A = this chain, B = another copy of it.
Amino acid sequence: MAMPDLKWSGSEKKIARRAFEAALESTLAGIMTEFKAMAAAAATPSEMWAVEDYLRRRRREVDELFDYRYSQLILVFARLIREGRLDEARLAGLSKDKLEMIRHVLSPMR
């Protein structure tokens, strides 16, 4: 999906960066918790290799999802909100057009 070439003001960049970092941190914390539990419970080689598989999948997802390019940020924020990784309230202060675009991406009618 192509996004128009949006302008991000300095204060918007700060808001976006903070929201992005908070979502990334909480996603990584969730992975860490699951990883620790799997690792502690692993009793066989195949359970150990399952931890490797788990980490590899999660790492790839994180790398794909957390793409901080301004050209991608509307879509990234919409996806983070949809997946429950970001509270939309954290984006307060972004311009009205950006918030509307995010809501549009999120709208069930699409």
Contacts and interface: CB of A to CB of B under 8 A. Distances in A.
A50 to B, nearest CB: 10
Interface string A45-56: 100110110011
Nearest to A25: B45
A36 interface: yes
Interface stretch (A27-35, A77-85, A93-101): A27-35
Contacts of A31: 45, 48
Interface of A: 28, 31-32, 35-36, 39-40, 42, 45, 48-49, 51-52, 55-56, 59
29 contacts: A28-B45, A28-B48, A31-B45, A31-B48, A32-B42, A32-B45, A32-B48, A35-B39, A35-B42, A35-B48, A35-B51, A36-B39, A36-B40, A36-B42, A39-B39, A39-B40, A39-B51, A40-B40, A48-B55, A49-B55, A49-B59, A51-B51, A51-B55, A52-B52, A52-B55, A52-B56, A52-B59, A55-B55, A56-B56
